[in-house]
Amino acid sequence: RRVHGEFNQVHFTLTIISPPTRNMVQPEASSTPVSGRRQPQPDQAKAYSLADDVFAEPVSPWNDRHDSTFIVLNKRETPEAATTDAIGLSDDYLSILRHIPEEDPHRDGLQKTPHRAAKAMMFFTSGYAMDLKRDILNNAIFKENHDEMVIVKDIDMFSLCEHHLVPFYGRVHIGYLPKSSVIGISKLARLVEMFSRRLQIQERLTREIAQVLMDAVGARGVGVVVEASHMCMVMRGVQKLNAVTVTSCMLGEFRKNHKTREEFLSLIGKSAGRR
Protein backbone atom coordinates (compact mmCIF):
# COMPACT_ATOMS: atom_id res chain seq x y z
CA ARG A 1 0.00 0.00 0.00
CA ARG A 2 1.09 3.55 -0.63
CA VAL A 3 1.55 6.03 2.20
CA HIS A 4 1.28 9.70 1.29
CA GLY A 5 3.47 12.37 2.87
CA GLU A 6 7.07 13.32 3.42
CA PHE A 7 9.16 11.69 6.11
CA ASN A 8 11.94 14.27 6.52
CA GLN A 9 14.00 12.07 8.88
CA VAL A 10 11.18 11.83 11.42
CA HIS A 11 10.29 8.52 13.06
CA PHE A 12 7.04 7.04 11.78
CA THR A 13 5.08 4.01 12.91
CA LEU A 14 2.80 2.34 10.37
CA THR A 15 -0.06 0.46 11.96
CA ILE A 16 -2.50 -1.66 9.97
CA ILE A 17 -5.71 -2.31 11.89
CA SER A 18 -8.52 -4.61 10.76
CA PRO A 19 -11.32 -4.54 11.69
CA PRO A 20 -11.57 -0.92 12.91
CA THR A 21 -11.18 -0.44 16.63
CA ARG A 22 -13.02 1.88 18.99
CA ASN A 23 -10.29 4.46 18.45
CA MET A 24 -11.06 4.79 14.75
CA VAL A 25 -13.99 6.38 12.93
CA GLN A 26 -14.80 4.85 9.56
CA PRO A 27 -15.19 7.47 6.80
CA GLU A 28 -18.72 7.95 5.59
CA ALA A 29 -19.73 6.29 2.32
CA SER A 30 -20.41 9.70 0.82
CA SER A 31 -16.78 10.80 1.12
CA THR A 32 -15.39 11.98 -2.20
CA PRO A 33 -12.88 9.53 -3.76
CA VAL A 34 -9.40 11.03 -4.17
CA SER A 35 -6.78 9.09 -6.12
CA GLY A 36 -8.59 5.82 -5.57
CA ARG A 37 -9.13 6.41 -1.83
CA ARG A 38 -11.80 7.92 0.33
CA GLN A 39 -10.58 10.48 2.82
CA PRO A 40 -12.33 11.11 6.14
CA GLN A 41 -14.01 14.36 7.01
CA PRO A 42 -11.75 16.97 8.71
CA ASP A 43 -13.37 16.44 12.09
CA GLN A 44 -12.78 12.71 11.81
CA ALA A 45 -9.10 13.21 11.08
CA LYS A 46 -8.76 15.40 14.17
CA ALA A 47 -10.21 12.60 16.30
CA TYR A 48 -6.98 10.69 15.83
CA SER A 49 -4.75 13.40 17.26
CA LEU A 50 -4.05 13.26 20.98
CA ALA A 51 -2.78 16.83 21.31
CA ASP A 52 -0.20 19.12 19.80
CA ASP A 53 2.26 18.07 22.49
CA VAL A 54 2.06 14.43 21.37
CA PHE A 55 1.95 14.59 17.59
CA ALA A 56 3.29 17.43 15.49
CA GLU A 57 0.24 17.13 13.23
CA PRO A 58 -3.05 15.16 13.24
CA VAL A 59 -2.92 11.47 12.43
CA SER A 60 -5.00 10.70 9.35
CA PRO A 61 -6.51 7.36 8.25
CA TRP A 62 -7.25 6.28 4.72
CA ASN A 63 -9.77 3.55 3.89
CA ASP A 64 -8.97 1.44 0.86
CA ARG A 65 -12.00 1.27 -1.41
CA HIS A 66 -11.53 -2.48 -1.96
CA ASP A 67 -11.60 -3.64 1.66
CA SER A 68 -12.16 -2.48 5.23
CA THR A 69 -8.54 -2.43 6.35
CA PHE A 70 -7.46 0.90 7.80
CA ILE A 71 -3.98 2.34 7.55
CA VAL A 72 -2.91 4.74 10.27
CA LEU A 73 0.34 6.68 10.03
CA ASN A 74 1.50 7.82 13.46
CA LYS A 75 4.07 10.61 13.38
CA ARG A 76 6.27 10.29 16.45
CA GLU A 77 8.49 12.92 17.99
CA THR A 78 12.19 12.24 17.95
CA PRO A 79 14.10 11.15 19.97
CA GLU A 80 11.08 10.02 21.98
CA ALA A 81 9.77 7.62 19.35
CA ALA A 82 8.02 4.84 21.25
CA THR A 83 6.61 1.44 20.51
CA THR A 84 3.31 1.89 22.32
CA ASP A 85 0.12 3.04 20.58
CA ALA A 86 -0.30 6.43 22.24
CA ILE A 87 -3.96 6.71 21.32
CA GLY A 88 -4.94 3.43 22.96
CA LEU A 89 -2.70 4.19 25.93
CA SER A 90 -4.38 7.57 26.38
CA ASP A 91 -7.77 5.85 26.43
CA ASP A 92 -6.50 3.46 29.09
CA TYR A 93 -5.33 6.33 31.31
CA LEU A 94 -8.73 7.97 30.90
CA SER A 95 -10.32 4.73 32.06
CA ILE A 96 -8.09 4.74 35.15
CA LEU A 97 -9.18 8.27 36.01
CA ARG A 98 -12.80 7.25 35.65
CA HIS A 99 -12.31 4.50 38.22
CA ILE A 100 -10.88 6.80 40.90
CA PRO A 101 -13.68 7.45 43.42
CA GLU A 102 -14.90 11.04 43.76
CA GLU A 103 -12.76 12.22 40.85
CA ASP A 104 -13.95 13.94 37.67
CA PRO A 105 -11.69 13.14 34.69
CA HIS A 106 -13.26 16.00 32.71
CA ARG A 107 -12.33 18.83 35.08
CA ASP A 108 -9.83 21.39 33.81
CA GLY A 109 -6.76 19.95 35.49
CA LEU A 110 -7.36 16.43 34.15
CA GLN A 111 -8.62 17.03 30.61
CA LYS A 112 -5.19 16.54 29.01
CA THR A 113 -3.79 14.27 31.69
CA PRO A 114 -4.41 11.02 29.72
CA HIS A 115 -2.50 12.47 26.76
CA ARG A 116 0.37 13.69 28.92
CA ALA A 117 0.55 10.40 30.82
CA ALA A 118 0.59 8.42 27.57
CA LYS A 119 3.43 10.54 26.22
CA ALA A 120 5.35 10.16 29.49
CA MET A 121 4.91 6.38 29.54
CA MET A 122 6.12 6.15 25.95
CA PHE A 123 9.30 7.97 27.01
CA PHE A 124 9.74 5.92 30.20
CA THR A 125 9.66 2.73 28.11
CA SER A 126 11.53 4.03 25.06
CA GLY A 127 14.45 1.71 25.83
CA TYR A 128 12.65 -1.18 24.17
CA ALA A 129 12.92 0.58 20.80
CA MET A 130 16.64 1.36 21.12
CA ASP A 131 19.01 -0.66 18.98
CA LEU A 132 22.29 -1.55 20.65
CA LYS A 133 24.52 -1.15 17.60
CA ARG A 134 22.76 1.79 15.98
CA ASP A 135 21.63 3.90 18.94
CA ILE A 136 24.12 3.01 21.67
CA LEU A 137 27.47 1.72 20.40
CA ASN A 138 27.35 3.62 17.09
CA ASN A 139 30.85 2.50 16.04
CA ALA A 140 32.34 3.91 19.24
CA ILE A 141 34.51 0.88 20.07
CA PHE A 142 38.18 1.56 19.38
CA LYS A 143 41.31 -0.56 19.24
CA GLU A 144 43.56 0.64 22.04
CA ASN A 145 46.52 -0.83 23.90
CA HIS A 146 45.11 -0.11 27.37
CA ASP A 147 44.76 -2.84 29.96
CA GLU A 148 44.05 -0.87 33.13
CA MET A 149 40.66 -0.45 34.75
CA VAL A 150 38.20 2.08 33.29
CA ILE A 151 35.45 3.37 35.58
CA VAL A 152 32.52 5.72 35.10
CA LYS A 153 30.65 6.29 38.34
CA ASP A 154 27.64 8.24 39.57
CA ILE A 155 25.61 7.76 36.38
CA ASP A 156 22.09 8.97 37.15
CA MET A 157 19.43 6.33 36.61
CA PHE A 158 15.62 6.44 36.56
CA SER A 159 13.44 3.44 35.87
CA LEU A 160 9.99 1.96 36.50
CA CYS A 161 9.43 -0.97 38.84
CA GLU A 162 7.65 -3.65 36.83
CA HIS A 163 5.67 -4.78 39.89
CA HIS A 164 3.91 -1.49 40.74
CA LEU A 165 4.75 0.82 37.80
CA VAL A 166 6.25 3.40 40.14
CA PRO A 167 9.77 4.82 39.84
CA PHE A 168 13.02 3.69 41.32
CA TYR A 169 16.04 5.91 40.86
CA GLY A 170 19.65 6.22 41.89
CA ARG A 171 23.16 5.87 40.50
CA VAL A 172 25.10 3.32 38.49
CA HIS A 173 28.85 2.69 38.74
CA ILE A 174 30.49 0.81 35.86
CA GLY A 175 34.04 -0.51 35.56
CA TYR A 176 35.72 -2.78 33.03
CA LEU A 177 39.13 -4.18 32.18
CA PRO A 178 39.83 -3.73 28.45
CA LYS A 179 41.43 -6.52 26.48
CA SER A 180 42.25 -4.88 23.17
CA SER A 181 39.41 -2.38 22.75
CA VAL A 182 37.84 0.49 24.66
CA ILE A 183 34.39 2.02 24.38
CA GLY A 184 33.50 5.71 24.29
CA ILE A 185 32.77 6.62 27.89
CA SER A 186 29.46 8.33 27.06
CA LYS A 187 28.24 4.99 25.70
CA LEU A 188 28.30 3.59 29.23
CA ALA A 189 25.73 6.19 30.25
CA ARG A 190 23.69 5.37 27.16
CA LEU A 191 23.74 1.69 28.10
CA VAL A 192 22.21 2.67 31.42
CA GLU A 193 19.51 4.65 29.63
CA MET A 194 18.71 1.82 27.24
CA PHE A 195 18.03 -0.70 29.98
CA SER A 196 16.58 1.64 32.61
CA ARG A 197 13.92 3.04 30.24
CA ARG A 198 12.00 -0.21 30.47
CA LEU A 199 9.85 -1.96 33.03
CA GLN A 200 12.57 -3.30 35.29
CA ILE A 201 13.73 -4.80 38.52
CA GLN A 202 17.06 -3.58 39.84
CA GLU A 203 18.68 -7.01 39.85
CA ARG A 204 18.02 -7.58 36.15
CA LEU A 205 19.00 -4.03 35.23
CA THR A 206 22.41 -4.54 36.88
CA ARG A 207 23.02 -7.84 35.11
CA GLU A 208 21.93 -6.61 31.67
CA ILE A 209 24.28 -3.61 31.74
CA ALA A 210 27.22 -5.78 32.78
CA GLN A 211 26.61 -8.59 30.28
CA VAL A 212 26.08 -6.33 27.27
CA LEU A 213 29.24 -4.34 28.05
CA MET A 214 31.24 -7.55 28.48
CA ASP A 215 30.08 -8.89 25.12
CA ALA A 216 30.33 -5.59 23.21
CA VAL A 217 33.89 -4.72 24.20
CA GLY A 218 35.27 -8.22 24.68
CA ALA A 219 36.50 -7.09 28.08
CA ARG A 220 38.54 -9.22 30.45
CA GLY A 221 36.09 -8.29 33.19
CA VAL A 222 33.18 -6.02 34.05
CA GLY A 223 31.81 -4.75 37.34
CA VAL A 224 28.51 -2.92 37.79
CA VAL A 225 27.06 -1.57 41.04
CA VAL A 226 23.61 0.03 41.21
CA GLU A 227 22.24 1.83 44.25
CA ALA A 228 18.64 3.01 44.16
CA SER A 229 15.64 4.16 46.14
CA HIS A 230 12.37 2.44 45.29
CA MET A 231 9.15 4.43 45.50
CA CYS A 232 7.21 1.20 46.00
CA MET A 233 8.94 1.02 49.41
CA VAL A 234 8.58 4.75 50.12
CA MET A 235 5.10 5.74 48.94
CA ARG A 236 3.33 2.50 49.86
CA GLY A 237 3.88 -0.79 51.67
CA VAL A 238 6.51 -0.54 54.39
CA GLN A 239 7.04 3.21 53.68
CA LYS A 240 10.74 3.31 54.55
CA LEU A 241 12.05 6.66 53.37
CA ASN A 242 15.77 6.02 53.85
CA ALA A 243 16.08 2.49 52.45
CA VAL A 244 18.62 2.16 49.63
CA THR A 245 18.95 -1.05 47.60
CA VAL A 246 22.43 -1.97 46.33
CA THR A 247 23.00 -4.62 43.67
CA SER A 248 26.15 -5.72 41.89
CA CYS A 249 27.20 -7.90 38.99
CA MET A 250 30.81 -9.01 38.58
CA LEU A 251 31.95 -10.80 35.44
CA GLY A 252 35.30 -12.23 34.32
CA GLU A 253 38.29 -10.94 36.29
CA PHE A 254 36.01 -8.94 38.57
CA ARG A 255 34.45 -12.19 39.76
CA LYS A 256 37.53 -14.43 39.71
CA ASN A 257 40.14 -12.05 41.12
CA HIS A 258 39.30 -10.58 44.52
CA LYS A 259 42.04 -7.94 44.20
CA THR A 260 40.50 -6.62 40.99
CA ARG A 261 37.11 -6.59 42.63
CA GLU A 262 38.42 -4.81 45.72
CA GLU A 263 40.16 -2.18 43.59
CA PHE A 264 36.92 -1.47 41.75
CA LEU A 265 34.86 -1.28 44.94
CA SER A 266 37.40 0.97 46.64
CA LEU A 267 37.47 3.36 43.68
CA ILE A 268 33.70 3.77 43.77
CA GLY A 269 33.55 3.47 47.54
CA LYS A 270 33.22 7.15 48.35
CA SER A 271 30.33 7.67 45.97
CA ALA A 272 28.73 4.33 46.83
CA GLY A 273 28.61 5.30 50.48
CA ARG A 274 27.26 8.81 49.91
CA ARG A 275 23.52 9.61 49.98
Q: Which residues are the active-site residues?
A: 161-164, 202, 230, 232
Cα–Cα distance measured from residue 115 to residue 235, given in angstroms and rounded to the nearest whole number: 24
Give one DSSP letter per residue of the chain, joined into a string: ----S--TT--EEEEEESS--TT--PPPTTSPEETTEEPPPHHHHHTT---TTT-SS---EEEETTSS-EEEEEE--SS---SS-HHHHHHHHHHHHHTSTT--TTSGGGTTHHHHHHHHHHHHTGGGG--IIIIIITT-EEE----S-EEEEEEEEEEEETTTS-EEEEEEEEEEE-SSEEE-HHHHHHHHHHHHSSEE-HHHHHHHHHHHHHHHHT-SEEEEEEEEEEHHHHTSTT--TT--EEEEEEEEHHHH-HHHHHHHHHHHHHHHT--
Cα–Cα distance measured from residue 229 to residue 158, given in angstroms and rounded to the nearest whole number: 10
Q: Which residues pair with 32 in a beta bridge?
A: none
Cα–Cα distance measured from residue 136 to residue 145, given in angstroms and rounded to the nearest whole number: 23
Intra-chain end-to-end CA distance of the chain, in Å: 56
Question: Cis link prior to 58 (omega < 30° from 0)?
Answer: no
